[in-house]
Amino acid sequence: MERGEVELTFVRADNPSKRVVLRAVLDDDMTYYAVQAAKLLGFAPDEEFGISTPDGRPVRIVGRTVRDVVASRGTVFNMASRDMLGR
């Protein structure tokens, strides 16, 4: 995490071959990067999604910095649509 940046990897849960890596500033809002990743992974603009760790633990991102999320959940995340999450 030198120079206040980190690489975040987002993987589409329903198609693990679809992944995107984003360079993130540690003090930025994590929501920004999640939305960018969702766009790049092909989620529709109005499609709700959730984020989890590779072992299935949900990740809360609203109101949290990249630094906070990375410290507690790491740098690799699965993204799934609301329908896939069953909510």
Q: How far is residue 75's CA from residue 43's CA, in Å, rounded to a whole number?
A: 20
Contacts 24+ apart (CB under 8 A), 57-65: 61/30, 61/31, 61/34, 62/31, 63/29, 64/29, 64/30, 65/26, 65/27, 65/28, 65/29, 65/30
Per-domain boundaries in the chain: 1-5+7-50
pTM of the model: 0.90
Q: How far is residue 42's CA from residue 18's CA, in Å, rounded to a whole number?
A: 9
| Token pair recorded at residue 55 | 């072992």
pLDDT in tens, 32-58: 999 999 999 999 989 999 999 999 999
Q: How confident is the model at residue 24 (pLDDT cuts 50, 70, 90)?
A: very high
